[in-house]
Structures are given as C-alpha cells and as structure tokens.
A and B are shown apart, each in its own frame.
Chain A
Amino acid sequence: MQKKEKVLPHGGDAPYKKEILLAGFGGQGVLFAGKVLTYCGLLAGKEVSWLPSYGPEMRGGTANCSVCISDDPIGSPLVTKPDLFICMNGPSFDKFIDSVVPGGTVFIDETLVTQEVSRTDVTVYSIPAAALAAENNLSGMSNMILLGKFFKESAEETEMFSMETVKGALEKCVPSTKTHLIEVNIRAIELGRKK
C-alpha cells in the first residue's frame, strides 16, 4: 500500500491521493495555510476537503487541520496518517510525528520546534520560518514561509503547487476587504521558496 516516491508524486497509473496535516498554535495561520493548499487542489481540478480541529480559544490553543487532495471522491476527511505533515510548534511535533506514514514528508518550523527527528523513514525539511518572518518584516507570516518551502519541494512534481496556482488560491482565500494582503503573502511564500 505504501508509496515510495518522493514528495507529491504525480503521474503514473496510480490516482493522485495525498493526506496533509498542518498543526501548530491557534493564531499562527494553520487553518489559513490549509485553506490555501485546499484551493490549490480545487483549482487543479482535484477532489478536496478541509477539516479544522481546534479548541474553544481564539488564540494560543492548539489548532490543526486535515487537508485531503485526491483524484477520487474523499471518504473520511479526517487525516490520521498524513503523507505530508506541516508542523509549526513543539507540542504538535510530539503529538503527530509518529503518525506520518513511512516514506512521508515533514516540514518543520525549526524556530519553534526544537526536537530532533529520530525517524529515518521520513524526509524532513526544516527552516526557521518564525525567525525569517521576524527578520524580514513579515510578522505573522511564518505559515506562508513554511508553505513556500513546501511548494518549492513539491512544485517539480506537479503544476498544482506552481506559483500561478498558488496566487489563484490566495485570491480565493483572502477576503475581498483585505486584498492588499495578497502581496505580503506572496512575498512570504517567495522567501520560503528560496530556502
């Protein structure tokens, strides 16, 4: 059952199917980042689902979201064994790192996740997203910086995460009253893509 290919294999005979888990603190934009990924899938003509999970707090609690992108209709939208795990804080790392499927890929904000990855059966990409955000006047954009890294490592394989699709997705996700923020988001994604 397990696929051995690298990040986001696309093509071949097997239908495309990826389960993505994004996790961090509430307020970091975990749900928003998931929404952008979901829209990328939608714009690429895939079946998609986005399912948030968070506590009653507005900020500071833990938040995670399940994103499924697939050629086939999506059964359970809840991701319990992610192919791709985007991790934005320490508690989420501890909670979910063992659930990633063997051969899966993990994206880590190493500013906030200080733990070492002991697993050898997953590909790990770490960048100091929160530190980069602070240094580059992109406060609150560490989610997009980490997503930029994700897009970079995935774009070779599929058009779904090309900058063009990503821009289209951002236009769908950013409310019409805040369109000026699209540019900042793109700047953050470009920064992540360079890392």
Chain B
Amino acid sequence: MAGCKSFFGYPITPQTEISAYMAKRMPKEGGVFLQAESEIAAVNMVLGAAAAGVRTMTSSSSPGISLKSEGISYIAGSDLPCVIINVQRGGPGLGGIQPSQADYWQATRALGHGDFHVLVYAPASVQEMVDLVIEAFDRADEYRMPAMLLADGMLGQMMEPVTFPEVKKNVPDKPWATNGHQGKRDHNVANSLFLSPGDLHSKVVRRFEKYKEIEQKLPKAETYKTEDADIIVTAYGAAARIARSAVNMARKEGIKAGLIRPVTLYPFPKEIIRKHTENAKEILCVEMSMGQMVEDVRLSVECKKPVRFYGKTGGLIPEPAEVFEQIKRIEKRIGGAY
C-alpha cells in the first residue's frame, strides 16, 4: 500500500502478526520478505535496503527494539529513511507479552546513541495503523530519516474493520541512493562515520535544523470535546481509546471532560496541547506505563497547570471505569475551588 518493497524481521510476541502478513504480501508485490537470523541482522538489512533507495521496514516488540537500537542510530546517522514498528509489550528485560506503553521514553528520547530524533507515530486503531504507515513512509522519505510506529500489544492483536487505500506507485526520486552510478554521476556514499569533530558537528547541526522544521510542520493530535472542558485527559494509542470511553462516561454525568490524543509523539504536539488546555483547570495523563509522556505534557503547559497521572504497567490495561474514577476525583477537588 505504501510502496514498501522489503521487510526484514525476526519473530517476537505480540508483533509476529506483521511478519506473517508481510511474508504473504511482499512476494505478491514483487518485494522481499526475509526472516533474518536476529533483530540486529534485520535492522542492518534495513540499513542496506534504505541506502539503496528502496522503501523498507522492520518490526519488533520492546526487547527486540532494544536490540535494533544500534542499527537505528546508524540509519539516522546516515540520513536514511525507513519505517520501524514497535508493538510494545511489558518491560524492562524480557518483561511480559501483554500490551504496554513503557517504551515512550525509548522511542522519543533514546532510540539509539547519539544526537538524533526519529519521527514517532502513535496509532490508536487498526485503521490508523494502515494510514500512519503510509504517512510514516512518506515523511521518512521527505526528511530522510527513520520513522517509528509506536503501537502496543492490544492494537497489534486486535481486529476491527479497516479500509485499505489505493496502492501507491509513486515513490519519490532518491538521487542520493547508492544504487549504482553506471558512470553517469559521482558515486553516492551512505555513511555515519565522521572522524573529524568539525565535520560531525556540522552534520548534526544541519540535521537539527531539519528537526526544527519538523517540529513546526508535523505535530499532530486529535482533540475530543475539549472546547468547554475543565478536565482534559491526555493519552495516546490504546490508552486513548480507554480514556475516550472514560470521557464519555464523565460527560454523561455532567462532568466537563475532554481528550487530547497525540498522534505524533515526536514531534510532540506541544502547541496543540497548550492551546486546547488554556481554559482547562486540570490535566490527567493516562498511560500504560509508570508515567512517561506525562513529562512532555507538563513541558507543553510549562507546568502552569496541574498535570496528574494515572497508569498501569507490566501488561495490565486500565479500565475506563478506573480512569472515570480519577476524573471524578479531580472534579470533586476543583469543584469547590472554582
């Protein structure tokens, strides 16, 4: 659909459904499916394919993403586009196999060593998994950088109706690709090694200028019933579905609650959050972790409003009723004060 021509992966629960699908799909599209001998091999195959100018991707789940992090850093350091999917499970270590959102920090802060970002998209439905993969490939090519889809075990394994858009045939020209110069141009180099500190410095600085543009242009979030909301819940991915149910429960009882769901985690939709919480009294961040995105929410509102946190980790999924309980508690507290 997105014009992806190669997939390199290694099985791990709860992500193997993607590999299984791609194993069937890639040969039909004239592409390559390869189950590598390890996650590390797979990500380096992605590096090679990306350098050759091919749309390429890999997918894994939390512990596997840690293994891929060296390769991801090399890909970012070589300014190469690719898509990486993380279907998060509980951690740290081997953790568990149930859904989790504990890799937010890893995805947005430290997906490998060095000064760099990757684009991070957070789908909240199966439909969005499809749409955002296409978006991720397009933006990765546009900005020549890796893009990640940060999903979780719940989204990875659930089924719901989905509409596939038309197959895309037009992948942009990549004059930088190392696909053979045939004597017609100078040879291209894909490389992340720069031994002269000055060269490396200017290379990284240039990359950060690109990030500045990205932070202006790409932040995306969905807002739901925020216009008159006293209490705004922030949540991404599967947690946002739970939060949405809780917001609906609150509205039924006359509590003015709303939801902001970041769709891009890098760039984080700071401005959207700041704007839509201007009239809110308190913010509640809900995650399937011990609280990671909550820090970005606090930064977005410059700590001017109280930002509370509610979450469960290790594979446990908060119930809408629990989140609703938290909203009620906040309502009780702010009710008297205003």
**Partner-B contacts on A (CB < 8 A):** 35, 38, 42, 47-53, 56, 74-78, 80
Contact = CB atoms under 8 A, between A and B. Distances in A.
Given A76-B245, A77-B241, A56 B157 contact: no
Interface string B225-260: 000000000000000011011001000000000000
A80 B158 CA distance: 16
Given A76-B320, A78-B154, A48 B241 contact: no
A56 B97 contact: yes
Given A51-B154, A56-B13, A56-B97, A78 B161 contact: no
A47 B126 CA distance: 13
Interface of B: 13, 97-98, 154, 157-161, 241-242, 244-245, 248, 317, 319-321
Interface of A is mostly: mixed
A110 to B, nearest CB: 30
A35 B161 contact: no
A76 B242 contact: yes
Contacts of A35: 159
A42 B161 contact: yes
B285 to A, nearest CB: 17
Given A47-B160, A78-B317, 6 more contacts: A51-B154, A75-B242, A75-B320, A76-B317, A76-B320, A78-B154
Contact of B160 (A76, A77, A78, A80): A77
Contacts of B319: 76, 78, 80
22 contacts: A35-B159, A38-B159, A42-B161, A49-B158, A49-B160, A50-B158, A50-B159, A50-B160, A51-B154, A51-B158, A74-B160, A75-B244, A75-B245, A75-B320, A76-B241, A76-B242, A76-B245, A77-B154, A77-B158, A77-B160, A80-B319, A80-B321
Chain B CB within 10 Å, residue with most, of A49, A76, A77: A76
